[in-house]
Structure 1
Amino acid sequence: MKVLYILFTIILLSGCSTVPDQFGKLDLKKWRSDRGGCNGVRATLVPAFKAEIQNLKGKTANTIGDLLGRPDINQIEDRNQKFYIYFLEKGPHCDTPGGKSTSRSVAIRMSAIGLATEITFQNGLP
């Protein structure tokens, strides 16, 4: 019984991990704190984000969510693909949640198996 308790404790503790505050050059704590890009912080982090694009590709949807925080828009496409969209600057979406916005954004395409396959920058939604 004691062995089972120890094994259970080890499994429980190994599943607990904290989300890092840094991903390469990208300050994740600042990124996550600027929901919707409404405070202008994400716009200053774009060069650091671009430097880490290749390291983000291939990550799972859960890992991307843990690193960058909940996406501002989770857009579902056909063939079980989806986009995680993060706004980079203040726009109409800040004052009217759910409203259409043409503010600069980054979209991370998730494949049907939940891996980041493409990262693009655009105005508004992809």
Structure 2
Amino acid sequence: MKISKLVVITLCSVFLFATACTKKIDVGDFDSAKWIGDQEGCSSQRAEMIQDLIKIKPNLLALYHKSIIEVLGKPEAEELYERSQTYYWYYIDPSPKCDQPSENPRKLSIRFTALGIANEIDIK
């Protein structure tokens, strides 16, 4: 079976476009596995990682939803806001769902644009 040159060129163009649109994830020596393993902050490992998290905050800006999930795991909460913006929340201190919750747990808040790009990252 012969594949036409047009099909090959089209497939190559689609591949190049798709790979060019994703930003490489560079989070330095941040221990994603440790962060992801501490669901809801119940083990207080995330609280111990706060300085590492502050260091990588600039690297998380402009990443897509999928890339954020690769680094930080699935968020503990998410909300669709006006104009198709999305918020992700990750507990840093033990959440109310933990056996020994914090009174006022800190959270990492990430706001995404309608296109799914992280444009605001806060620790509250």
TM-score normalised to structure 2 length: 0.73
Opposite residue 80 of structure 1, the aligned amino acid is S
1:43 aligns with 2:47: yes
More strand by share: 1
1:59 aligns with 2:63: yes
Identity %: 31
Count of aligned pairs between the two proteins = 102
1:108 aligns with 2:110: yes
Ranges in structure 2 where 5+ consecutive residues have no aligned partner: 4-14, 16-25
Q: Segments of 4+ in structure 1 off by > 4 A?
A: none
2:88 counterpart residue number: 84
Measure how far apart 1:121 and its partner are.
Answer: 1.0
Task: Indicate if the aligned counterparts of 1:25 and 1:51 stay in contact, CA closer than 8 A.
Answer: no
Measure how far apart 1:92 and its partner are.
Answer: 1.4
1:30 aligns with 2:11: no
Measure how far apart 1:94 and its partner are.
Answer: 2.3
2:79 counterpart residue number: 75
Opposite residue 106 of structure 1, the aligned amino acid is L
RMSD between aligned residues: 2.3
TM-score normalised to structure 1 length: 0.72
The C-alpha deviation readout for 1:46-104, integer Å capped at 9, x for no partner, is: 10011011111000001101111000101211110111100001131325xxxxx8411
Larger radius of gyration: 2
